[in-house]
Amino acid sequence: MTPEAASEECRALCVMAPIIPVLVIGDASKARDLGRSLVAGGLPVLEVTLRTPAALDAIRELSSVEGGVVGAGTLLTTDDVLRAKAAGAAFGVTPGSTDRLLDAAEANDLPLLPGAATVSEAMRLLERGYSVQKFFPAESNGGVTALKSIGAPLPQVSFCPTGGVSPANIENYLALRNVICAGGSWVAPSPMIAGNDWEGIESLAREAATLPRQHAPDSA
């Protein structure tokens, strides 16, 4: 898969909803109910971070949720790419980008949302062909102000900011023309998952799904 093709596939996923839930799942048996709640609330694209031993099993469970598209986040190595793809991940997300990691995703036909934190990193990814990127960690790297500044010289790059994005600042991010969507964990809080509060999570998802954004789907 070429970087250009990967970005087009990721673009199609990113325009499906304003928020991509960033999920840290410690118990794979809860994954299906969690996924159903988020999808029912209007957030069909789900990112499961590979930060727990249960992550790959959770991806397998979520792969069977009707209407959902599950991807693997926190990809760091070639082995992560291979394991995520084998578990059923439809796309991958990285906190940063290395040649080896990009090579692995391209060789294994895994659409990738690669991470960038600086203008130079964003330029390097764009030079390779990635026009849709993750901006991480967003708030620590200047947040809305930084993305607005990056958008001036690099208007052809669309970003999914993640890291420190919350209900308090999300509308400011989505108001930027170079923000296609954002990644957020607040739509699936750990206490709600632990308490099986699927109605509460669906309600949070519904609120997030209605957030306005400048980068409207029909302009992507």
Catalytic residue (choose from 47, 61, 106, 202): 47
156 CB burial (10 A radius; 0-12, 13-18, 19+): exposed
Catalytic residue (choose from 9, 61, 134, 202): 134
Tell me whether residue 121 is one of the annotated catalytic residues. Answer: no
Tell me whether residue 85 is one of the annotated catalytic residues. Answer: no
Distance CA 127, CA 153 (A): 14
* Catalytic center residues: 47, 134
